[in-house]
Amino acid sequence: MRMEVRERLAQIEEERERLFQGGGPAKISEQHQLGKLTARERIERLLDTNSFSEFDLWSTPINPKQGIRGDGVVAGHGKIAGRPLFVWAQDWTCSDGRAGIIHVQKIARLTEKALRSRVPCIGIFDSEGTKVEDFVNAPTNYFFDKVAYSQTQASGVIPQISLIMGPCLGSAAISAMLADFTFMVRGTSCLNISEHQGKPLDAWTHAKNTGCCDILTENDEDCLKKCRELFTLLPLNNNQKSPQIATGDDPDRKEEELLGIAPLDKCKAYSMYRLLSLIVDNGNFFEIKRHWATNLIVGLARLDGKTVGIIANNPQSKGGCLDIDSADKMARFVRFCDAFNIPLIWFVDTPAFLPAVEQERGGIIRHGSKVVSANSLATVPQITVYVRKCYGGGNLGMPGENLGGDISLAWPTMIIAPMIPEGAVAIVYRKQLQLAENPEQEKVRLAEKFETESHGLLWKWLLVQEYIDPRETRPLLVRALELLSEKNEVRAWRKHDNIPL
């Protein structure tokens, strides 16, 4: 009897090894020639060594003649940096990764398991579409609508990440976008809602023009490496905080370069990226949507080993103005951080919302309202650092204490005003300028007077707690985060808010 069991185990292992080959050596070779890793290779590189445990390897396709066991998707659980997660990967070597009923059922069931277990879920997309014959001949509840439903139930409860590492077409494209973060690979990824109409849009188009790509990567290895990096910055679920790690960076570090990084001339640009790198731990900043709405910078970093969400105006793009796309970018990021207990820090230098007819016609009022709504509803610790200017509607977009912020600090280069000084002077002192011997010289003098008076109003209106030495920004932020670490803000009960989508 014992020998029979051993023989059966040997048979199982032999069959398992065969199934691990997916569509076979020829298809694996073809995948490699396209510059792509296989589904199993991707999971192996993404997870900690020997941590992957597979589910449903032996599942049988609806039509066995049109697929092999597993139905073209590898699914299971494992660990990244010792922390658990669920993961699935479409296997392009099996029928070009096309999704059949069992294929989709495995993805939906895995997402449901991740939700029940309260651990993150990562999906790897690489498929030419769906097995239409499966769904025509055997109607079922398990199409991508079932996957989408399970994803929306998990939204805000567990982090979800999509890695688009090949084609992602049709319903799968919507599913990919329901994740919190979407990665794409330059040269091999494409994303389209239609499976049969035209050439699908590539990774660069989605990174730069549509905003569908959060992190653009150079190849499969780079994609998996960056996904691991992001995972370490996130909590397992919405009842936890992100793990604090020892980065070796002195929390009291002061940087002399910060003293002169922002020019007093408010029209001169400077590198906000350089500014942030001097403040966060070891200069490491994980940016989200780097190539889209470049006038706003958002991303994750650590301060004294703790994860923080950073939002900063970019003076090198549109002068740091806010617009339709940057409003969407900020609102989305704020809501993610708030859902997963990640403190928010704003670095402000904006002349307000972009004054342009096409922006008004495009609905900037509605899009701008998303920012105000997201910022006001956030209950995580919120700190605002006024680096330089903040005019008009910028005070709504880059929120201070009036929109629920906790601490506001000002560099000496800062000016907050209801509008640009030159514009205010042109309105308020119109007659005086008309009578002046030298109108331009008088306008400059009055604008400087307006700025000085605006500084005085800051303290009357309690908009800012203190001027700070720019060199002390890092240690002061570390202390503020420690102070706010147990913040618990209770809001009026509601089923959910009604953000102006």
Q: Indicate the pLDDT class of residue 60, thresholds 50, 70 and 90.
A: confident
Strands 296-303 and 306-313: what pairing? Answer: antiparallel
Report pLDDT for 225.
98
Residue type, 22: G
List strand residue ranges (DSSP E) for 342-468, in order.
Answer: 344-350, 382-391, 407-410, 415-417, 466-467
| 274 contacts 314 by C-beta, under 8 angstroms | no
What gap in Å lies between CA 109 and CA 88, rounded to an integer?
Answer: 11
Average confidence (pLDDT) over 120-148: 80
Domains and CATH numbers, the chain: 9-232 (3.90.226.10), 256-414+464-483 (3.90.226.10), 421-460 (no CATH)
pLDDT at 64: 63
Q: How confident is the model at residue 346, as a pLDDT?
A: 97
Residue that has been written with the tokens 């029940």 in this structure? 116
Nearest to 485 by CA among 392, 393, 383, 335: 383
Q: What is the DSSP string of 242-280?
A: PPP------TT---GGGGGSS-SSTTS---HHHHHHTTS
Q: For 206, which DSSP code?
A: I
| SS3 call for 184 | strand
Structure token pair of residue 298:
């958002």
Place of tokens 């796309």: 325
> How many Cβ atoms from other residues are within 10 Å of residue 337's Cβ?
23
Q: What is the dihedral of CA 455, 461, 462, 468, to 10 degrees?
A: -10
Q: Poorest-confidence range of 168-172, 219-223, 250-254?
A: 168-172
Instruction: Show Cβ contacts of residue 376 under 8 Å, excluding neighbours closer than 6 positions.
Output: 399, 403, 404
State yes or no: pLDDT of 59 exceeds 90.
Answer: no
Secondary structure class of 390 (helix, strand, coil): strand
User: What's the whole-number mean pLDDT along residues 436-457?
Assistant: 67
Q: DSSP assignment of 286-298, as one string?
A: EEESTTSSTTEEE
Q: Is the pLDDT of residue 7 over 80?
A: no
Task: Say whether pLDDT at 5 is over 70.
Answer: yes
Q: Which pLDDT does position 57 carry in this prediction?
A: 75
Percent of the chain past pLDDT 90, that is, above it, reads 63
**Residues facing residue 130 across a β-bridge:** 99
Q: In which band, very low, low, confident or very high, does the pLDDT at 19 lie, cut at 50, 70 and 90?
A: low
Q: Is the pLDDT of residue 256 over 80?
A: yes
**CA angle 370-376-377, nearest 5°?**
90
What CA–CA distance (Å, rounded) separates 273 from 286? 11
pLDDT at 430 over 90: no
pLDDT at 159: 98
The CA distances from residue 26 to 23, 31, 33, 289, in Å, are: 8, 9, 11, 37
- In terms of Cβ atoms closer than 10 Å to its own Cβ (0-12, 13-18, 19+), residue 211 is middle
For residues 11 and 42, is the Cβ–Cβ distance under 8 A? no
- pLDDT at site 61: 72
Handedness of CA 474, 480, 486, 491 (dihedral sign): negative
Confidence tier at 433 by pLDDT (50, 70, 90): low
Predicted confidence band of residue 3 (pLDDT cuts 50, 70, 90): low
Q: Which tokens go with 282?
A: 């070891």
Among the residue ranges 8-22, 70-84, 394-408, 423-437, the one predicted with the least confidence is: 423-437
Residue 300 bridge partners (DSSP):
286, 309
Better-predicted residue by pLDDT, 243 or 2: 243
- Report pLDDT digits (tens) over 393-417: 888 888 888 788 999 999 998 887 7
Task: Please provide the average confidence, as pLDDT, over all residues in the chain.
Answer: 88
Among 53-62, 102-111, 298-307, 429-438, where is mean pLDDT lowest?
429-438
* pLDDT surpassing 70 at residue 462: no
C-alpha pair distances (Å), 335 with each of 180, 233, 269, 487: 10, 16, 29, 17
How confident is the model at residue 204, as a pLDDT? 97
Q: Where are the beta strands (DSSP E) in 304-343?
A: 306-313
Residue 302 has pLDDT above 80, yes or no: yes
pLDDT confidence bin for 32, thresholds 50/70/90: very high
**Segment 116-130, tens digit of pLDDT:** 999 999 999 998 877
The pLDDT value recorded for residue 429 is 61
- pLDDT reported for residue 402: 79
Whole-number Å distance between alpha carbons of 175 and 148: 6
Distance CA 64, CA 349 (A): 61
| Mean predicted confidence (pLDDT) in 362-376 | 93
Tokens describing residue 61: 């396709």
- Choose among 478, 465, 476: nearest CA to 406: 465
